[in-house]
Amino acid sequence: MATVELDRVSYTYENASGNATGNSADGFAVRDVSLRIEPGQVVAMLGPNGAGKSTTLLLLLGMLRPRTGTVRLFGEAVTGAVNKAVAGGRIGAMPQAGGVPPRSSVRDLLEFLHAVYPRPMPVREALALADLEGLAGRTVERLSGGQQQRLRFAMAVIGRPDLLILDEPTAALDVQSRRAFWAAIREYAAHGRTVLFSTHYLEEADDNADRIVVLDRGRVIADGTAVSVKQMVGVRTVSVAASDAPHAFDRLPGVAAVTRLGGRVVLTTTDSDATVLALAAAGLLRDLEVVGAGLEEAFLTLTNTALTDAAPTLERI
């Protein structure tokens, strides 16, 4: 039995006049989305801002009702399944932000949730998993943004949920905290639990997800392993040793972007054969390297985002 099933799900937001306000051309925030996620999978949901990621997660949590299609959790329609699953601790959610009582301590909040769920993990285990042992007695209002995010994670997992839904989980974390967070997720998922997360950090999806789902304008445009998503596009990177003579690399056939890194020129190209032949004809074929598309290049190509306009780290798209 699948943990998550979406069958041809669509949703539109409406303004005060009753008009659809989604980002797709036809006003849909989510349009005809079908997904099936099996137990034990770690799934990343990627997409530009407004692609429908958060809306899809809200539909799964029963906070929105689809206009068309069906949503099922653990084999049951989401309308009845969510309340039952949340009460039973089978679903844990970590929103981008949320109202956490500011004057409560970390330990008090986790002890309260521990008493609510039927099969919780020990509070000390939740503290350790979220790297909060040294902050257990601190009140929420005295936590930094990253520490509050780690607290939300501890609150999401203390019920030992079979499905963990994370919306931009590492947005407020520094590099060291992000690494620790993903180590905790891998440990958690190793017990056969399902994790579904949205993120703008493409390297996190590449490193940690078993499966990647790409949304654009409310539709699923790619679904598979990181390797298979990269193979969907013909983008490659061609690099050569830089020449002292100036050259219009951006005019070479197939070239979409040009970057100079130290003593090398890196060309992102949709036709590597034509690019290499043109480099050879121009006498610029020195120390050639050709590599396949990374997840960043694949993402930008699939979503038609201009390569030259993208932020280098793609932390915000």
- 15 confidence band (pLDDT: 50, 70, 90): low
**Residue 100 falls inside a structural domain:** yes
Same domain, 46 and 108: yes
* Alpha carbons within 13 A on the beta-carbon side of 221: 22
Same domain, 27 and 122: yes
**Residue 313 falls inside a structural domain:** no
Tell me if residue 259 falls in helix, strand or coil: strand
Same domain, 164 and 264: no
More confident of the two residues 89 and 312: 89
**Residue 31 falls inside a structural domain:** yes
Same domain, 152 and 189: yes
Render 280-309 in DSSP notation, one character per residue.
HHTT--SS-EEEE--HHHHHHHHTT--GGG
Q: Which of 226, 248, 264 is the last residue of a domain?
A: 226
Q: What is the pLDDT of residues 186-242, one digit of tens each?
A: 989 999 999 999 999 999 999 999 999 999 999 999 999 999 998 888 788 999 998
Share of the chain above pLDDT 90, in %: 69
Same domain, 206 and 77: yes
* 224, two tokens: 């598979």
Same domain, 248 and 126: no
**Residue 35 falls inside a structural domain:** yes
Q: Which of 205, 226, 247 is the last residue of a domain?
A: 226
Give one word for 172, left, alpha or beta, with left for phi > 0 and alpha for psi -120 to 50. alpha
**Residue 121 falls inside a structural domain:** yes
Find how far residue 75's CA is from the centre of its chain: 24
Domain that holds residue 287: 236-292
**Tokens 């490193």 label which residue?**
207
- Number of domains the chain is built from: 2
Same domain, 241 and 212: no
291 beta partners: 237
**Residue 314 falls inside a structural domain:** no
Q: Which of 226, 247, 263 is the last residue of a domain?
A: 226
Same domain, 150 and 40: yes
Q: In whole angstroms, what is the distance from residue 239 CA to residue 261 CA?
A: 10
The mean pLDDT of the chain is 89
Of the candidates 294, 73, 28, 298, the residue with the CA atom closest to the CA atom of residue 165: 73
Helices (H), the chain: 53-60, 78-87, 106-116, 123-129, 145-157, 175-189, 202-208, 226-231, 272-281, 295-302
The predicted structure's pLDDT at residue 37: 97
- 85 confidence band (pLDDT: 50, 70, 90): confident
The predicted structure's pLDDT at residue 305: 57
Same domain, 89 and 206: yes
Same domain, 288 and 183: no
CATH number of the domain to which 271 belongs = 3.30.70
Same domain, 252 and 149: no
Q: What share of the chain is helix, strand, coil (3-state, %, to 5)?
A: 35, 25, 40
User: Has residue 129 got a pLDDT over 90?
Assistant: yes
**Residue 242 falls inside a structural domain:** yes
Same domain, 119 and 257: no
The predicted structure's pLDDT at residue 137: 98
**Residue 91 falls inside a structural domain:** yes
CATH number of the domain to which 71 belongs = 3.40.50.300
The radius of gyration computed from the CA coordinates of the chain, to the nearest angstrom, equals: 23
pTM higher than 0.85, yes or no?
no
